[in-house]
Chains A and B, each alone.
Chain A
Amino acid sequence: MANLVSALGDLSAAEDAAQDAVETALETWSRDGIPDNPGAWITTVARRKAIDRIRRDKNRAEKSEALARLNLRHAERSDDELEEETIVRDEQLRLIYGCCHPSLSAEAQIALTLRAVAGLSTPEIASAFLLPEATLAQRLVRAKRKIRDAGVPFKIPDDAELLARTSEVHKVIYLLFNEGYAASDGDELIRTDLCDEAIRLGKLVANLLTDDAEAFGLVALMQLTHARRPARTNLDGSLVLLADQDRDLWDQELIDEGNEALEQAMRFAKPGPFQIQAAISALHCAARTADATDWEQIELLYRRWLAMARTPVVALNHLVAVSMVEGPKEAFDRLERGDLPETLAAYAPYWALRADLLAKLDRDEEAKAAYQTAASLAGSAPEQSFLQQKATQSDLTPGTN
């Protein structure tokens, strides 16, 4: 959209044109498959359509008036405009459900969504996933060929399928968000636009399924996580841990929105992993200082989450909460007792937690070795340098990590 706006200099015309273009795209793509460069294709088609439109609407109101129209509150919009919005929304949803079709591999789903829905370029997606560009391009070509040859539909699934299909879409949206948030890319820790896009898509899907608790839970989780983003890195790009973050930098407006979405989700009384994670995030956001964090509630929530999904990462996070509630000794003992899967040994956060606990137990040498291992396994440059610094730090006094 930003592309188009600069090309056309008229936001409203650009929006109309983009809508036309997406409409055309959906027709053409489900017939002929997705083109090699969908983003550029949409922009080209949109520009052409916008020119048509401007020619058609010679008497159209001035640009300023058109902009004012965009700022009208929802309730003041005309029926035509509301209908137009519904059309755009439905088209985007069709695009999402098509890209996240279960007949495509999980990798293809996320790549296609990033490409066709979020408008990322092939090199951008490749670098986000640490894949050679050729591999990613091949993956997209294969997926597009399957869409065309196998007749993968771009449509909102029938009611019977909707819930199951939506949970697939949720996975892709959340992956997209995490890619933006954690950006294993190395160069850029946070890619705000990816996170914003994920939140936008999450809302779109939540509003389609007005009765899916997890859809709202996902939106809440992303908002409550994203709200802390401004405090998450220093000016030089280095990481700031939650406990050390300047909480005044948190985006209070987004926190409020997230809490609202979480409340909406909880009204359905159908808890799920996204809602639990959102609730944990909400508790962090509610604490004015790190010391004020309600770790007991958080520990309970992790325990509940573990009961639903016993994954290594959840188990690890639960242990962090245990260390806050029952102390580092208890957490370390549980870590040592080894009821965690072996795959964790290749996972940087496992070594970071182990190191933190060792440091708190005054076992500095072992802690440094563990930080060293964590640093060697970390995915992004800021994470790496953060852990590396820990490994060589002389004083590992608890509270500084």
Chain B
Amino acid sequence: MKYALLIYGDETSPAVSPPQDSPEFAELIGGYMAFGEEAGSQGKIVAGEALHDTDVATTVTVVDGETVTTDGPFAETKEQLGGFYILECADLDEAIAWAAKIPTAKTGRIEVRPVQSYDDEGQPT
């Protein structure tokens, strides 16, 4: 089964998002590299990306056929989506175990969402 591990944290908090030249930043990056190494070497990672902060987000909606864009995230929240992985896991227990290994799990939260798949006729499987 595929699971999306959505990485949430307060992007304004230095603990979640340390300044780029700080030792904390180096440690965080090291942690993510180690995670990628471990999960990657076991063939678990389907995809995974880090996202820029929400201050550069653009929100798009179509109203009466017209594209409407707004500056910023679609909702102002205390914790923002900062990145994600799509992992191939046997079951929810395995997905939870990987989620707990993501460095930001210590300072933020990881939402584990099963990925919905569809067959050729477009039916959920």
Which interface residue of A103, A151, A152, A155 has the most chain B CB atoms within 10 A?
A: A151
Q: Is the interface of A mostly helix, strand, loop or mixed?
A: loop
Please report B residues at the A interface, Cβ cutoff 8 Å: 1, 3, 89-93, 95-96, 112, 114, 116
Q: Is the interface of B mostly helix, strand, loop or mixed?
A: mixed
A-B contact pairs, 5 of them (CB 8 A): A103-B92, A150-B92, A151-B91, A152-B92, A158-B93
In the complex, what distance in Å separates the CA atom of A158 from the CA atom of B90? 14
Please report A residues at the B interface, Cβ cutoff 8 Å: 101, 103, 149-153, 155, 157-158, 161
Contacts of A158 in B (CB 8 A): 93
How far apart are B3's CB and chain A's nearest CB, in angstroms? 8
Q: Are B93 and A153 in contact (CB under 8 A)?
A: yes
Contacts of A103 in B (CB 8 A): 92, 96
In the complex, what distance in Å separates the CA atom of A277 from the CA atom of B1? 43
B93, closest chain A residue (CB): A153
In the complex, what distance in Å separates the CA atom of A151 from the CA atom of B125? 13
Q: Are A157 and B114 in contact (CB under 8 A)?
A: no
B89, closest chain A residue (CB): A151
In the complex, what distance in Å separates the CA atom of A101 from the CA atom of B91? 12
Contacts of A152 in B (CB 8 A): 91-92
In the complex, what distance in Å separates the CA atom of A155 from the CA atom of B89? 15
B2, closest chain A residue (CB): A151
Contacts of A155 in B (CB 8 A): 91, 93
Number of A-B pairs, beta carbon distance below 8 Å:
27
How far apart are B71's CB and chain A's nearest CB, in angstroms? 35
Interface contacts beyond A151-B3, A151-B90, A158-B93: sample of 7 additional A-B pairs, CB < 8 Å, sorted by A = A101-B92, A149-B116, A151-B1, A151-B92, A151-B95, A153-B90, A161-B93
Q: Are A151 and B96 in contact (CB under 8 A)?
A: no
In the complex, what distance in Å separates the CA atom of A155 from the CA atom of B1? 16
Contacts of A151 in B (CB 8 A): 1, 3, 89-92, 95, 114
Contacts of B91 in A (CB 8 A): 151-153, 155
Contacts of B96 in A (CB 8 A): 103
In the complex, what distance in Å separates the CA atom of A158 from the CA atom of B116? 27
B95, closest chain A residue (CB): A151
Q: Are B114 and A150 in contact (CB under 8 A)?
A: yes
In the complex, what distance in Å separates the CA atom of A103 from the CA atom of B93? 9
In the complex, what distance in Å separates the CA atom of A149 from the CA atom of B2? 11
In the complex, what distance in Å separates the CA atom of A102 from the CA atom of B92? 11
In the complex, what distance in Å separates the CA atom of A149 from the CA atom of B1? 10
How far apart are A98's CB and chain B's nearest CB, in angstroms? 10
A102, closest chain B residue (CB): B96
In the complex, what distance in Å separates the CA atom of A192 from the CA atom of B19? 62
In the complex, what distance in Å separates the CA atom of A150 from the CA atom of B115? 9
Contacts of A153 in B (CB 8 A): 90-93
Contacts of B92 in A (CB 8 A): 101, 103, 150-153
Contacts of B114 in A (CB 8 A): 149-151
In the complex, what distance in Å separates the CA atom of A379 from the CA atom of B84? 48
Contacts of A161 in B (CB 8 A): 93
How far apart are B95's CB and chain A's nearest CB, in angstroms? 8
How far apart are A107's CB and chain B's nearest CB, in angstroms? 19
Contacts of B112 in A (CB 8 A): 150
Contacts of B95 in A (CB 8 A): 151
How far apart are B53's CB and chain A's nearest CB, in angstroms? 29
In the complex, what distance in Å separates the CA atom of A103 from the CA atom of B92? 9
In the complex, what distance in Å separates the CA atom of A150 from the CA atom of B116? 9
In the complex, what distance in Å separates the CA atom of A103 from the CA atom of B114? 13
In the complex, what distance in Å separates the CA atom of A59 from the CA atom of B114? 50
How far apart are B112's CB and chain A's nearest CB, in angstroms? 8
> Which of B90, B93, B116 is the one whose CB lies under 8 Å from A157?
B93
